[in-house]
Amino acid sequence: MNSKATKVQAIAAAELSKTLYGSLTNFIKLTPSEIAKSVGMTKKSLGELSYLFYQKRSYRSSLKSNSSKMNLKMMVVNKMISKLKTGFPYRQPSSNWVNNQNDILVRFGKGNVSSFTVSQSTVWHEKHSWKANSTTHTLVINPLDDFTMIGGLLTIFAKKDKKLSAIPCKWYEQSKGFQLNQVFGFLVGDYHIEAETAQQALEVVARKRKAQANYLAKKKALEEKQETALLNAKLVNKEFGFCMAGIRNFCELNNIDSNKSYTIAEVRAIVVANRSLNCNRFDSYLHKLGIVLNCK
């Protein structure tokens, strides 16, 4: 056997020992006839074997690709379920006698309208004739949509609208029993507004925020005025209904002169300094004066 034939046979044997999984680059300079002859096969048989090999490799590659896609999809779904379950606000049945399982499911609904529904079923005890309710909350989300949980309301909106100042959306409110009400409107910040147009929704929120700002300003002014308001034993007895015996006892324990007047800020500083003394003893009374000790 000449050196060329020996070389061909060695290369072919090495490649076949790898069951054709290795690189075929070593065969580039050899003709199919030379390769087939060196391994005792016809050119046709070698072609069929190569075709089967490539089919198998393509199939395995397809399986691997599909498996990766499935794993990625499951990761996304699990993340969405976790997002939905966190602080889940909707009513679910519970039972001390029956082992009822309540489910929260998420699935993609390509081509479908995103929705959030609840179904109810009856669950029986394994040994006794006891029954309980069981619910399954299912979120079907179109890939073009997104959802969030704001103010205890599951809110669904289109991803393309996410950056709008007034986002067209729908949300789900708890109804009677375990049922849900679907409401359409706009999401403005953390406000859910039922309105026909985005402009109307923005105007409603502007009015609400203005009213809130006015309320906070008035509250702050009142608190500042209260801080400088003078308190004395007689005033506390008359205006708040505290008994004089209790007032005198409080003053004595906190080294306060019951015959003098103090601002609320001054009283607060004294009782906070003696927190351990006043907690669970005078904290409920002090709260009525606007002084909070946060004893818990």
Give the pLDDT of residue 137. Answer: 93
Residues 112 and 195 in one domain: yes
pTM score of the predicted model: 0.55
Give the pLDDT of residue 164. Answer: 95
Residues 188 and 112 in one domain: yes
Residue 73 belongs to some domain of the structure: no
Residues 108 and 203 in one domain: yes
Residue 294 belongs to some domain of the structure: no
Residues 53 and 121 in one domain: no
Rounded distance, CA 197 to CA 201, Å? 6
Strands (E), 199-269: 230-231, 262-263
Give the pLDDT of residue 19. Answer: 42
Residues 136 and 202 in one domain: yes
- Per the DSSP assignment, residues forming a β-bridge with 153 are 150
Give the pLDDT of residue 193. Answer: 92
Residues 146 and 202 in one domain: yes
Domain end call among 19, 50, 65: 65
Residue 87 belongs to some domain of the structure: no
Number of domains in the chain: 3
The 10 Å CB-count burial string (b at 16+, else e) for 112-148 is eebbbebeeeebeeeeeeeebbbbebebbbbeebbbb
Q: Which residues, 6 or more positions from 71, have their beta carbon under 8 angstroms from its beta carbon?
A: none
Q: Average pLDDT of each block of 10 consecutive residues along the chain (296 residues)?
A: 56 50 47 58 64 62 61 72 81 83 85 90 83 91 90 92 95 92 94 94 92 78 72 82 83 90 89 88 84 83
Give the pLDDT of residue 173. Answer: 92
Residue 93 belongs to some domain of the structure: no
Give the pLDDT of residue 41. Answer: 60
The residue segments making up the domain with residue 252 are 229-288
